[in-house]
Amino acid sequence: MPAHAGELGAMKAESIDLAGFLGVVYYTPEEDGYRVVTTIAHGEAGLPVRFVATLTENQVVAVSVPGKLGDSDQIIEISRVGGKLVVSPQPIDGIVVASPTAAIE
């Protein structure tokens, strides 16, 4: 995966790909922070799994998929920095996690 990040706008679901686990990430601003929802499934037919976290400023949550023996894990970190939600690193194969111009402060 490339080592660069994308900013995610509120209520703008974006696609992610973690070593064949496909899914989406979105957030909604709530009174106590940004409610971040990440849903992934193995391939298109896999059973979906959802991760939900509420992030306040400078908090980070990670979603990872273990690699094969001897390979690295595939990890996406989702952080709230400067009033923006940042997803890092972005997946490969042309799938965009977020567009920097779509960020909502």
In 1-105, which ranges are E strands? 6-8, 14-18, 21-30, 33-42, 49-55, 60-65, 74-81, 84-88
- Against a cut of 0.85, is the pTM above it? no
Please tell me the predicted confidence (pLDDT) of residue 89.
Answer: 66
Measured CA angle at 80 (ends 90, 37), to 5 deg: 70
Please tell me the predicted confidence (pLDDT) of residue 7.
Answer: 58
User: Which structure tokens are listed for 76?
Assistant: 């996406």
Please tell me the predicted confidence (pLDDT) of residue 86.
Answer: 85
Residue 78 carries which side chain, given as an amino acid letter? Answer: I
Please tell me the predicted confidence (pLDDT) of residue 64.
Answer: 87
Residues in the chain predicted with pLDDT less than 50, given as ranges, are 1-5, 90-105
